[in-house]
Amino acid sequence: MNFDEIIHREETDCIKYDKMEAFLGKGGIIPMWVADMDFATPSFILDALKKRLEHPILGYSYRSEKTMEAIAGWMWRRHGWKINPNQISFSPGVVPAIFLAIQAFSKPSDAVVVQPPVYFPFFSTVSQTQRQLIHNQLLENNGFYTIDFDDLEEKLAKKPSMLLFSNPHNPVGRAWRKEELEKLVDLCYKSGTIIISDEIHSDLILKGFRHIPTAMSHPKAAEITLTLMAPSKTFNIAGLSTSVVIAENADLLKKYNQALEAAHLAQGNIFGNIALEAAYSQGDSWVDSLVHYLQANLQLLDRLCRKHTDKISFRLPEATYLAWVDCRKMGMSDAKLNQFFLNDVGMGVNIGKLFGAGGEGFVRINLAMPRTRVEEALEGLDKALSASKS
């Protein structure tokens, strides 16, 4: 593994590079937006894919027992979560799984709770399926985010069908603690609200923290939780459209599977299944090294932010390679902030407003790239901040 290697991704039909100009309005800058990594997918995954390609027929396939056991093994080794292969299902992606869960567990005009600022497809999947969005905005104090439980209790009194929960949270970087999860589950259980727990970032837990699967956090949690995980972020294989759905409650799993089968999506794709099995059976030490590397990248940003506390502030995340940077002291509108990052800094970032209420004045920066690229980007940020008026 060589995370320092610079790999050119241009002209590979890669969204982050090849669509940067189309989406952000400017090319030729450092792309720190789409949440994938500029590191090579590990060789044990590429080798497994190459081996399969030695066979010339790529017909219909299924997820073998070995694949399901690899998933269960990973959950146990990495998160201490004991699940059985028969509690596992599939989705081509975590967002598609949210869409299917909405179909399975609610009907049009039902309410669905989200906790902004949050990964923005949470909003669109709810509104595009004609459900009603209810906001339980996170509380922020000095860069540290918590759940507003009083507000949540009020919102749950309206009997929403489900809560879309991000654990760890994108973009605010929290790896929720046991006490927080317990309280959340307790409230949802009492109100009969199903928790769709998006745990796609659960393998990227930074030093000093741990991931607690929501379904493990409370004696009643497994009854009401559908968990969504994936090797896509962890191993940089998002293009293989393969993720994992877990429910210990057989009734929840059955309803989810009915929605999956109605859409004829249950089969998945042959390469995704092979990559998933290789990732979850051989990936432990690779992920440990990755997290170590990401931690150092995040620390570089932290150091720079401390130099410019009059303009920006940043709290190191507990998980993910995504930095949620508070630029409110710069006093810029979101449109101006966007222009500042594009034109003055030379970074393509996600503007915080995209993540809903509470995101105004923030940017999300993806630091999953070789160290020298991060240093180059931070040099641009340092210069631009020094030149900007406070």
Q: Which of 33, 41, 79, 93 binds ligand PLP (CB under 6 A)?
A: 93
Min dist CB 28 to ligand PLP, Å, is: 24
Distances (CA, A) of 1 to 79, 167, 234: 23, 28, 14
Q: By Cβ distance, which residue is nearest to ligand PLP? A: 93
Task: Find tokens 């500042």 and name the residue.
Answer: 340
Question: Which member of 138, 156, 238, 290 binds ligand PLP (CB under 6 A)?
Answer: 238
Instruction: Please tell me what DSSP assigns to residue 344.
Output: I
Q: Is 81 in the site for ligand PLP (CB under 6 A)?
A: no
Name the residue nearer to ligand PLP (CB basis): 194 or 200: 200
> What is the DSSP secondary-structure string of 249-282?
SHHHHHHHHHHHHHTT-TT--HHHHHHHHHHHHH
Tell me how far apart the alpha carbons of residues 296 and 367 are, in angstroms, rounded to a whole number: 10
Binding segment toward ligand PLP, per CB under 6 A, in 92-100, 144-152, 302-310, 349-357: 92-100
Q: Which of 33, 101, 114, 198 binds ligand PLP (CB under 6 A)?
A: 198
Smallest distance from ligand PLP to CB 34, Å: 8
Q: Is 119 in the site for ligand PLP (CB under 6 A)?
A: yes
Whose Cβ is closer to ligand PLP: residue 161's or residue 232's?
232
Stretch that binds ligand PLP, among 88-96, 173-181, 266-274, 279-287 (CB under 6 A): 88-96
Listed in sequence order, the residues at least 6 apart from 200 whose beta carbon sits closer than 8 Å to its beta carbon are: 94, 170, 228, 229, 230, 232, 233, 243
Which residues, in sequence order, are CB contacts of 27 under 8 Å at separation 6+?
20, 21
Tell me how far apart the alpha carbons of residues 243 and 96 are, in angstroms, rounded to a whole number.
9
Residue (185 or 200) nearer to ligand PLP, CB? 200
Q: Which of 32, 164, 175, 200 binds ligand PLP (CB under 6 A)?
A: 200
Interface residue with ligand PLP among 95, 101, 194, 245 (CB under 6 A) is 95
Stretch that binds ligand PLP, among 90-98, 133-141, 187-195, 381-389 (CB under 6 A): 90-98
**Which CB atom, from 230 or from 378, has the smaller least distance to ligand PLP?**
230
Nearest Cα to Cα of residue 77 among 279, 333, 325, 324 = 279
Q: What tokens does 256 get?
A: 């989810």
Interface with ligand PLP, residue 115, by CB under 6 A: no
Q: Which of 115, 136, 166, 225 binds ligand PLP (CB under 6 A)?
A: 166
Closer residue to ligand PLP (CB): 184 or 384 = 184
Residue from 35, 245, 279, 345 touching ligand PLP (CB under 6 A): that is: 35
Residue from 37, 162, 224, 230 in contact with ligand PLP (CB under 6 A) = 230
Least distance in angstroms from the C-beta of 310 to ligand PLP: 31
* Cβ partners under 8 Å of residue 30, min gap 6: 346, 347, 348, 369, 373, 376, 377, 380
Please select the residue that binds ligand PLP; options are 87, 136, 161, 170, rule is CB under 6 A: 170
Three-state secondary structure readout of 95-151 = HHHHHHHHHHHCCCCCEEEECCCCCCHHHHHHHHCCCEEEECCCEEECCEEECCHHH
Query: From the CB of residue 140, how many other CB atoms can be counted at a distance below 10 Å?
Result: 16
191-211 as b/e, with b when 16 or more CB fall inside 10 Å? bebbbbbbbbbbbbbbeebeb
Between residues 218 and 233, which has the closer beta carbon with respect to ligand PLP?
Answer: 233
Q: For 193, which DSSP code?
A: P
Q: Which residues bind ligand PLP (CB under 6 A)?
A: 35, 93-95, 119, 166, 170, 198, 200, 230, 232, 238, 243
